[in-house]
């Protein structure tokens, strides 16, 4: 044992000695105080590879945090706006979203992932990305951040660290994550913590990455390490968002819990009670706006960890901030976040239009200037890109970064080390054709399969690809699953079965359209009503109608909720349009889902096909009795399942 300790100490000293010349004495002492050899090894190897002039170690101290914030502005990666505390940042025209094609798993020769997952052979990928990273930080500072996913020191927490040469990225993580330098310094950090190495690459005079053609984002699950280069966009460069989620999913798989692409919100019900819901929605499908509903509390907007604690499903937010979409945020529909975005306080805007020190974005509900500065440089109305297409004043995927605690409705349980008990789980999609606005599953298994595994949605501007394509997006997490997809579905099924108190499972769709006119059948604010109905269902306060795809609301209950929650009258005609079962479209959806799993997913549980077949049988029964479009009134009046 003594010999092992001596080897451990010698290794630490070797790594520290290699770093001494790159660090000031204060930074050297900060790093020396951490008794974790892998920390020193990762930093030493990253420095040797990237060759920075200096290494800055950021602790949890207010002085270090403030220094990072100042340097983000001094470096030019961020610039101040007129409102105190507000800054803005630009990513390049070809760096405006998560880059699915260039984000890959590094898969060793002895392993394999489903072909639906983007991947490259590990040694080949490491050689490529390390070649791109070699000497890339020459003339710059490497910033080292120590953070925690989940509340520090809890059963949910995962320690992590990021080395980056971007002050914007280093600043962003202050708003998004819990600081954990002290947790690393106190030791007890397991050796399998997550690491990220990121470089923005060569920058132009506007401090924008110049070589998007050399952009790479690789996830090495063997070493729990993320590599990201030649990109600044937060989803590609802030390694602890969706990139580390891929690593967390593997850990959750091994340990029997769930790491999910979910928001968490507290919904107030009668008698002062509060019921917590987690919800998985693909980007651009209403996840953050659901978490921000006025009158409710927000605990998470993006990533949640779910654990079985004494038979109860409890959840925490992996983060403590929001990297949110700005498009269509306005004072009428989003009053909570609008207040934060328009008052003094620490906010980073990205890829907006800036004019006279003010930020502008699409759908903000006011007149937008005809000229200004945006992610393409000087912008004027009618400006076109290299393909002859008109450039909007702000990017559709413009973002804001802000601490959750800046919000007036931030849930007080945000840092509870035991998390909160979930009453319901929601799967949301962008489906113009098929699913009703809200429905409840018949069982845990039915919900996981019919709403989660079968989640089909229209792609949006948050991805660097064409919009408007329909695709299967399992549990809204398919891009991030680093285990076989069939195993992932099985884990969700088994997790629920081990609970003595299962959350109810719901499906929502805010984007249903009229089949004839193409008009949306829902107002954006209707989600307030759907959430209240789900809260009542969890607490067994209202009945529901059995449809082929799930339990749907009764008209009388929705009419009362629309009046109480939104102050509007809800007509029977609107109800019938929204909750008519579209049999033909739902049958076609089942066919597409079955085909996807047969072609793309290894070891798909047979139960998935059985539950989909049961749904097909129910749909066929009502089709024979009522036709392709079945009014909820018909379902309520007759016991169609007995036919």
Tell me which residues are annotated as active site.
Answer: 285
Among 594, 571, 585, CA closest to 623? 585
Q: Beta strand pairing status for 158-164 and 194-199?
A: parallel
Residue 308, helix vs strand vs coil: strand
Distance, in Å, from the CA atom of 400 to the CA atom of 377, rounded to the nearest integer, reads 19
Phi and psi, residue 194, nearest 5°: -85, 140
Q: Beta strand pairing status for 438-440 and 304-309?
A: unpaired
Distance, in Å, from the CA atom of 24 to the CA atom of 43, rounded to the nearest integer, reads 15
CA-based R_g, the chain, Å: 25
What is the residue whose two structure tokens read 């900060």? Answer: 30
Distance, in Å, from the CA atom of 367 to the CA atom of 387, rounded to the nearest integer, reads 27
Distance, in Å, from the CA atom of 118 to the CA atom of 331, rounded to the nearest integer, reads 39
DSSP string, 440-509: E-SSHHHHIIIIIIT-EEE--TTBSS-SS-EEE-GGGTGGG--S-HHHHHHHHHHHHHT-SBPPEEEEEE
Cβ(200)–Cβ(210) below 8 Å: no
Number of H helices, E strands in the chain: 19, 33
Distance, in Å, from the CA atom of 430 to the CA atom of 81, rounded to the nearest integer, reads 34
Distance, in Å, from the CA atom of 33 to the CA atom of 462, rounded to the nearest integer, reads 41
Distance, in Å, from the CA atom of 418 to the CA atom of 445, rounded to the nearest integer, reads 26
Distance, in Å, from the CA atom of 358 to the CA atom of 372, rounded to the nearest integer, reads 10
Q: Which tokens hold the place of 205?
A: 């005079």
Phi and psi, residue 172, nearest 5°: -60, -40
How close are the terminal C-alpha atoms of the chain, in Å? 74
Q: Which tokens hold the place of 144?
A: 């080292």
Cβ(229)–Cβ(199) below 8 Å: yes
DSSP string, 39-106: HHHHHHHHHHHH--SEEEE--SSHHHHHHHHHHHHHTTSSEE-SSTTEEEE---TT-SSB-TTTEEEE
Contacts of 10 (CB under 8 A, 6+ apart): none
Dihedral angle of Cα 148, 154, 158, 164, to the nearest 10 degrees: 10
């Amino acid at each position: 044992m003594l010999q092992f300790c001596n080897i451990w100490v010698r290794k630490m000293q070797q790594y520290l000695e290699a770093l001494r010349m790159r660090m000031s004495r204060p930074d050297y002492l900060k790093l020396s105080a951490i008794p974790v050899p892998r920390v020193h090894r990762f930093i030493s190897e990253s420095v040797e590879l990237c060759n920075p002039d200096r290494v800055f170690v950021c602790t949890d101290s207010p002085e270090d945090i403030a220094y990072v914030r100042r340097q983000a502005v001094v470096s030019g990666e961020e610039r101040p706006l007129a409102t105190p505390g507000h800054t803005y940042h630009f990513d390049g025209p070809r760096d405006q979203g998560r880059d699915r094609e260039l984000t890959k798993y590094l898969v060793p020769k002895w392993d394999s992932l489903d072909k639906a997952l983007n991947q490259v052979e590990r040694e080949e990928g490491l050689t490529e990305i390390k070649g791109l990273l070699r000497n890339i930080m020459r003339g710059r500072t490497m910033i080292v951040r120590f953070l925690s996913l989940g509340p520090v020191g809890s059963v949910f927490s995962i320690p992590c660290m990021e080395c980056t040469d971007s002050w914007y990225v280093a600043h962003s993580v202050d708003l998004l994550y819990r600081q954990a330098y002290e947790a690393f310094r106190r030791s007890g950090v397991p050796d399998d913590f997550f690491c990220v190495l990121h470089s923005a690459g060569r920058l132009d005079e506007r401090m924008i990455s110049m070589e998007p053609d050399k952009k790479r984002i690789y996830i090495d699950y063997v070493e729990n390490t993320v590599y990201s280069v030649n990109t600044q966009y937060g989803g590609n460069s802030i390694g602890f968002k969706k990139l580390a989620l891929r690593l967390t999913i593997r850990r959750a798989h091994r340990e029997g819990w769930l790491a999910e692409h979910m928001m968490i919100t507290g919904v107030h019900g009668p008698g002062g009670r509060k019921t917590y819901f987690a919800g998985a929605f693909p980007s651009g499908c209403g996840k953050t706006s659901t978490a921000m509903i006025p009158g409710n509390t927000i605990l998470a907007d993006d990533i949640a960890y779910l654990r079985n604690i004494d038979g109860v499903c409890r959840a925490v937010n992996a983060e403590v901030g929001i990297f949110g979409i700005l498009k269509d945020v306005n004072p009428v529909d989003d009053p909570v976040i609008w207040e934060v975005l328009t008052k003094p306080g620490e906010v980073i805007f990205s890829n907006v239009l800036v004019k006279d020190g003010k930020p502008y974005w699409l759908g903000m509900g006011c007149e937008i200037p005809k000229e200004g500065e945006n992610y393409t440089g000087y912008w004027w109305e009618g400006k076109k890109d290299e393909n002859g297409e008109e450039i909007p004043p702000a990017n559709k995927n413009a973002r804001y970064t802000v601490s959750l605690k800046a919000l007036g409705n931030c849930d007080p349980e945000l840092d509870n080390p035991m998390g909160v008990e979930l009453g319901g789980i929601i799967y949301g999609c962008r489906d113009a054709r098929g699913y009703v606005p809200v429905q409840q599953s018949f069982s845990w298994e039915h919900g996981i399969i019919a709403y989660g595994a079968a989640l089909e949605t229209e792609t949006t501007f948050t991805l660097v690809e064409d919009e408007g394509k329909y695709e299967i997006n399992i549990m809204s997490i398919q891009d991030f699953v680093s285990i076989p997809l069939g195993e992932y579905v099985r884990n969700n099924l088994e997790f629920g079965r081990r609970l003595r108190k299962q959350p109810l499972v719901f499906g929502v769709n805010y984007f249903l359209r009229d089949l004839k006119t193409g008009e949306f059948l829902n107002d954006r604010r209707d989600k307030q009503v759907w959430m209240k109905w789900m809260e009542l269902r969890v607490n067994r306060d209202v009945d529901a109608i059995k449809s082929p795809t799930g339990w749907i609301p009764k008209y009388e209950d929705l009419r009362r909720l629309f009046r109480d929650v939104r102050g509007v009258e809800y007509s029977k005609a609107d109800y019938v349009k929204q909750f008519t079962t579209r049999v033909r479209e739902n049958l076609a959806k089942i066919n597409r889902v079955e085909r996807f799993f047969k072609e793309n997913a290894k070891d798909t549980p047979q139960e998935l096909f059985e539950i989909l077949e049961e749904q097909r049988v129910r749909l066929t029964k009502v089709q024979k009795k009522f036709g392709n479009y079945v009014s909820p009134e018909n379902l309520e009046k007759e016991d169609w399942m007995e036919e």
